[in-house]
C-alpha cells in the first residue's frame, strides 16, 4: 500500500473520531489506529527502498550522462584539434605555395632577362658581321667605280678587288 494512502486513512480516522468536550482532544479507535500503524511500518520501508532505488537509478543515469558528456567533450576537443591542425597545414601549404609562385616569377623574370641579354648579344654580333660585310661591299663597289673612272684595265690583266676591313 502507498504511504500517502495510509496517511489519508489516519486523517480520515482522526476526522471520524469523537471529540472530548472542552478540549482539543479526540477519542480514536485503538485497533484501527494500530492497524494503520502496522501497515505504515511495512509500507514505509518499502517506500524508502523504492526511494533509494529511484535515487540509485537517478545516480546511475547521472553518471552515464556525465560519461556521455565527457565522451562528447573529448570528441569535440579532438575534432577541434584536427580542424586547427588542418587549418595550420592549409595555411602552411598556402604560404609555401605563395613562396613557390614568387620564386617561379622571379626565376621567370631572370630567365627573360637572360634571354633578352642573349638576344641582344647575338644581334649585336650579327650587326658587327653585317657592318663588316657592308663595309666590304662598299669597298668593293668603290674600287670598281674607281677602276672604271681610271679607265679599264688592260685586257690580259685581271685585278682582284681588295677588300678592307
Is residue 145 a part of any domain in this protein? no
27 within 8 A of 13, measured Cβ to Cβ: no
Q: What is the pLDDT at residue 121?
A: 94
Is residue 148 a part of any domain in this protein? no
Is residue 66 a part of any domain in this protein? yes
Q: What is the pLDDT at residue 41?
A: 85
Number of domains composing the chain: 1
The yes-or-no verdict on residue 163 having pLDDT over 90 is no
Most confident range (mean pLDDT) of 23-32, 101-110, 145-154 is 101-110
Is residue 152 a part of any domain in this protein? no
144 within 8 A of 161, measured Cβ to Cβ: yes
Is residue 144 a part of any domain in this protein? no
Distance CA 140, CA 163 (A): 6
Q: What is the pLDDT at residue 151?
A: 79
Is residue 153 a part of any domain in this protein? no
Distance CA 50, CA 145 (A): 138
Distance CA 24, CA 19 (A): 7
Is residue 146 a part of any domain in this protein? no
Smallest CA-to-CA distance from 13 within 28, 34, 31 is with: 28
Q: What is the mean pLDDT of the chain?
A: 88
Residue range 48-94, pLDDT digits in tens: 888 889 999 999 999 999 999 999 999 999 999 999 999 989 999 99
Q: Tell me 157's DSSP state.
A: -
Q: What percent of the chain has pLDDT over 70?
A: 91
Residue range 112-141, pLDDT digits in tens: 999 999 999 999 999 999 999 999 999 999
The whole domain housing 48 covers: 3-139
Q: What is the pLDDT at residue 6?
A: 87
Largest CA distance in the chain: 184
Distance CA 83, CA 89 (A): 10
Is residue 69 a part of any domain in this protein? yes
Amino acid at each position: 500500500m502507498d504511504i500517502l494512502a495510509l496517511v489519508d486513512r489516519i486523517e480520515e480516522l482522526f476526522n471520524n473520531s469523537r471529540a472530548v468536550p472542552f478540549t482539543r482532544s479526540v477519542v480514536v479507535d485503538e485497533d484501527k489506529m494500530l492497524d494503520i500503524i502496522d501497515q505504515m511500518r511495512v509500507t514505509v520501508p518499502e517506500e524508502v527502498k523504492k526511494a533509494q532505488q529511484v535515487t540509485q537509478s537517478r545516480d546511475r543515469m547521472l553518471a552515464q550522462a556525465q560519461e556521455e558528456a565527457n565522451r562528447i567533450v573529448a570528441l569535440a576537443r579532438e575534432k577541434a584539434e584536427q580542424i586547427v591542425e588542418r587549418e595550420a597545414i592549409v595555411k602552411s601549404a598556402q604560404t609555401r605555395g605563395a613562396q613557390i609562385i614568387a620564386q617561379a616569377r622571379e626565376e621567370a623574370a631572370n630567365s627573360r632577362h637572360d634571354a633578352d641579354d642573349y638576344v641582344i648579344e647575338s644581334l649585336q654580333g650579327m650587326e658587327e658581321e653585317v657592318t663588316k660585310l657592308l663595309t666590304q661591299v662598299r669597298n668593293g663597289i668603290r674600287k670598281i667605280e674607281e677602276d672604271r673612272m681610271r679607265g679599264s684595265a688592260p685586257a690580259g690583266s685581271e685585278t682582284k678587288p681588295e677588300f678592307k676591313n
